[in-house]
Amino acid sequence: MNKPKVLIVDDDQALVQSVSEALSFTGYQVALAYNGVAGIEQARLERPAVIILDIMMPLMDGYQACQILKSDPNTQDIPILMLTSKGQTSDRIQGFEAGVDQYLTKPFDIAELKARIASMVKSRQAQQAAAPVGAKKCLMYITLDKSGHFQVELRGAETFVGRGGHFDVDAEQMRRRSRNLGQYMVSTDQWRFEAKSLGQFLYERLFEASPTLIGRYSAAQARGPSRDLRIYFRGSREFIGLPFELLFDGREYIALRHPLARTMSDITLAGAEAVQPFSAHLASLASRGGRLRILLIEANTIPPLENVHKEVQMLTSLFQRELRAPLIEKEVTVVRSQEATYDEVTRLVEVGRFDVVHYAGHGVERDETPEQNALVLWKGEGSRKVMPLPAHALVDVLRDSTVQFFYLSGCLGAATGAHWQLWDDDFLGLMDGVVQAGVRSVLGFRWAVHDAGARMFAEAFYRSLFGEANGILEDAVFRARRERARASRDDPTWLSPVLVTQIQG
């Protein structure tokens, strides 16, 4: 039987050593961290049975670290014992408000510390034993470095960290093949054959070439329903251009088996709020009696598209009537097509304090200058001339905004250029720019999609997001993808969505 693991987070090295030795002698495994930031990373990696946490530490204090750990679905069930010299009543209250389970002041009796830890371990084991089988999600992270080597990590129902191998794929060649597939989707009905062929190639080079990955993937699948395994691809920003949604195992697309998302490893979001998933943001708003503020932009410019107006009309009704109650109250602002001017849209996004922005309209891709990938708006009210809102300008508009989630419901919102095409290390495309601006999550289409397909995907996504997905973006995309694939495999709308989220859970 595995020994329970205790994580000690304290910057007092002498204390850490003495407590570590005492616990090891008692029979516990011990992991160590010397500041709050390192403690959070160790907790996510080690999944200890108990965390011993100091308050006064460099980089991040214990209160902040505790709040982050308790807001993360992957660590929120780990009991925390706050061990500190700050023993005033106000300190204890602040600790309990942050989520601390038990409090012990310095100096302390090592026997009492052991007794408290034993009690916390026993209580947690009882809770886990009482939990329904299969109720816990499993999260798989595939982290690629620039040389193509990757690491595999599993959290949740299955745990593992180890080297996966080498992803032997030419990224630029893959980008060209992906672009060609997009042209097939527009010009011929043979795109399904090309998509499956490319997806099988990717699967062979990533999964089948790695005994570690295929073995851990099989073990995670055996834990429960396939939808309970979420897969995240992590890497530097150029990896958002790789079409992982095409992965095909010879029988089915991985994206139709599991929720998929990707994370940019070279983006750091500032502040404790940066670690809060969208679902937790909803819960936080609801607990404060706040409303989710949504901006719907109907940019039906040239040439006009029938379903842009229908999409915004449908979502307005969906939020204001059918989905009024679930999860949280919603406050919806709509910019109609005739009002969707460059100045009005940028003003609203920049200063309107919205949580969600949904853009429905045209998108433009500039292959040779990806920072010029753009949304298409009117130049002025009453004007019939258009004015693009390129990625570099969108970044400036979003940088100090409150936007948590940006939905690019237009063709090619997730299209990216190659890294070598950047002039000043700017932006690889619209989606890249939105994330670079600090927005936590963004959803866009990699390829051109059918006008009606985009509308139906948006409806399925939001129904799921505020329904059975309980505010979890990854699950909502997965459910909408499967719904559209069941309706018509010939419509590529189900294959095109890409979710980039800097927060998992």
Residue 383 DSSP code: -
Q: Is the pLDDT of residue 237 over 90?
A: no
Q: What region, left, alpha or beta, does residue 427 occupy, with left being phi > 0 and alpha being psi -120 to 50 degrees?
A: beta
User: In angstroms, rounded to a whole number, what is the distance separating the alpha carbons of residues 261 and 134?
Assistant: 22
Query: How high is the pLDDT of residue 200?
Result: 96
Write the pLDDT tens digit of every residue in 103-147.
888 888 888 889 889 888 887 776 665 544 444 689 999 999 888
Write the pLDDT tens digit of every residue in 317-330.
999 887 877 788 89
Token pair in block for residue 120:
């916390």
Write the pLDDT tens digit of every residue in 16-40.
999 999 999 988 999 999 998 889 9
Token pair in block for residue 220:
């995670």
Write the pLDDT tens digit of every residue in 36-91.
888 998 888 888 999 999 888 888 888 888 888 887 767 878 899 988 777 677 77
Token pair in block for residue 153:
């990590």
User: In angstroms, rounded to a whole number, what is the distance separating the alpha carbons of residues 66 and 321?
Assistant: 38
Q: Is the pLDDT of residue 353 over 80?
A: yes
* Banded model confidence at residue 369, pLDDT cuts 50, 70, 90: confident
User: In angstroms, rounded to a whole number, what is the distance separating the alpha carbons of residues 448 and 364?
Assistant: 10
pLDDT over 90 for what percent of the chain?
42
Number of alpha carbons in the 13 Å side-chain half-sphere of residue 389: 31
Query: How high is the pLDDT of residue 135?
Result: 46
Token pair in block for residue 470:
């309980």
Residue 4 DSSP code: P
Write the pLDDT tens digit of every residue in 201-225.
999 999 999 999 998 898 888 777 8
Strands 330-335, 5-9: pairing kind: unpaired
Helix (H, G, I), strand (E, B) or coil at 295: strand
Query: How high is the pLDDT of residue 44?
Result: 85
pTM, two decimal places: 0.73
Query: What is the widest separation between alpha-carbon atoms in the chain?
Result: 78
User: In angstroms, rounded to a whole number, what is the distance separating the alpha carbons of residues 50 and 203?
Assistant: 38
User: In angstroms, rounded to a whole number, what is the distance separating the alpha carbons of residues 431 and 437?
Assistant: 10
Query: How high is the pLDDT of residue 334?
Result: 97
Query: How high is the pLDDT of residue 370?
Result: 75
* Helix spans in 399-472 (H): 430-436, 451-465
If you average pLDDT over residues 446-456, what whole number do you get?
88
CA distances from 263 to 50, 111, 238, 451, 501 (A): 28, 44, 11, 28, 6
All residues at 6 or more sequence positions from 17 whose CB lies less than 8 Å from its CB, including other chains: none
